[in-house]
């Protein structure tokens, strides 16, 4: 690691006492209170506790990640962990209480094409929370944005993000074999689980194509390589549909790229036929595929 990249506050936090394990830290310290599992000073909303545990057990391969969990369980004040939508992870006040908002299926596609699991998203927010717990003045100072228009503002947003990403996130990510980002950017997407980088959409499209092939159903133009499965971008598309369940369909728009549609929300409740070439308008209306215009040739 290049010393020139060292950022104040990016060094590891205090080590947990010898013998501390993730399993001991994940054992509730009392009965649930108002729907929150009690882990000392850390209170995890019960609906995401199983996913939280999976994430922490996975992260525990890095001792520094266990130190982060220890720091929250034994913090100077209480911190909540609550669910949020993919792409909305953050540390800040919720209902007047310090809270980590975490999407258990929220993975990140980095600028360089590498990926980070939802568990790494949780670790990242824990890094902010522990900084705030251990040194609220430094946290407040570093959370001020870099000057508008500066290269640092474009790359890192704030010194706090730079500190957290180039320190904790890089070290634990390297220990776990995760992707790595050298900026505060990335495209959030829905992963199959807290310790998984495989996209939920990718998995469901692949499963359905395998089923159709096993049934002998002809799926023209739907290839073996699935490069990207993204949410409907509200543009016009043409291609073959597959029904991936849960009220969603995916359309192969070419080169292994699939659009994912929510039938009720995106397609006015109309389910397109599988294995047939269909046009979708920018308004989500279905129509038969049109022949391409012949044009002039000579």
The DSSP letter of residue 4 is: G
CB nearer to Zn ion: pick between 90 and 279:
90
CB nearer to Zn ion: pick between 36 and 139:
139
**CB 164, min distance to Zn ion, A:** 6
Sole residue written with tokens 């000579």: 298
CB nearer to Zn ion: pick between 75 and 121:
121
**CB 147, min distance to Zn ion, A:** 19
Closest chain position to Zn ion (CB): 161
Cα separation, 9 vs 11, in Å, equals 6
CB nearer to Zn ion: pick between 162 and 252:
162
Element (H, E) at 225: none
CB nearer to Zn ion: pick between 186 and 272:
186
Beta carbons within 8 Å of 77's beta carbon, 6+ residues apart: 41, 98, 133
**CB 6, min distance to Zn ion, A:** 19
**CB 90, min distance to Zn ion, A:** 7
Residue ranges binding Zn ion (CB under 5 A)? 161
Cα separation, 1 vs 170, in Å, equals 10
Element (H, E) at 153: helix 151-156
Closest CA to 44 of 61, 58, 59, 25: 25
CB 165 within 8 A of CB 124: yes
Both structure tokens of 244:
């991936």
**CB 234, min distance to Zn ion, A:** 29
């Amino acid at each position: 690691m290049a010393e020139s990249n060292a950022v104040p506050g990016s060094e590891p936090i205090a080590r947990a006492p010898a013998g501390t394990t993730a399993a001991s830290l994940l054992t509730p310290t009392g009965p649930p209170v108002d729907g929150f599992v009690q882990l000392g000073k850390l209170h995890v909303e019960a609906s995401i506790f199983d996913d939280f545990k999976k994430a922490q057990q996975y992260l525990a391969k890095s001792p520094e990640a266990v130190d982060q969990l220890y720091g929250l369980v034994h913090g100077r004040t209480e911190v909540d962990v609550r669910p949020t939508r993919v792409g909305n992870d953050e540390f800040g006040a919720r209902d007047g209480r310090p809270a980590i908002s975490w999407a258990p299926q929220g993975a990140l596609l980095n600028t360089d094409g590498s990926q980070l699991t939802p568990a790494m998203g949780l670790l990242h927010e824990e890094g902010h929370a522990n900084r705030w717990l251990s040194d609220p003045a430094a946290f407040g100072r570093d959370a001020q944005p870099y000057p508008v228009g500066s290269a640092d503002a474009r790359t890192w947003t704030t010194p706090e993000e730079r500190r957290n990403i180039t320190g904790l996130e890089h070290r634990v990510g390297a220990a776990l074999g995760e992707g790595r980002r050298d900026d505060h950017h990335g495209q959030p997407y829905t992963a199959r689980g807290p310790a998984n980088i495989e996209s939920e959409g990718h998995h469901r499209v692949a499963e359905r194509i395998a089923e159709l092939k096993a049934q002998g159903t002809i799926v023209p133009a739907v290839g073996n390589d699935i490069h990207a499965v993204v949410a409907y971008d509200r543009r016009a598309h043409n291609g073959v549909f597959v029904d991936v369940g849960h009220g969603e369909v995916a359309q192969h728009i070419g080169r292994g790229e699939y659009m994912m549609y929510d039938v009720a929300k995106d397609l006015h409740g109309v389910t397109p036929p599988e294995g047939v070439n269909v046009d979708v308008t920018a308004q989500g209306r279905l129509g038969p595929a049109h022949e391409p215009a012949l044009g002039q040739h000579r």
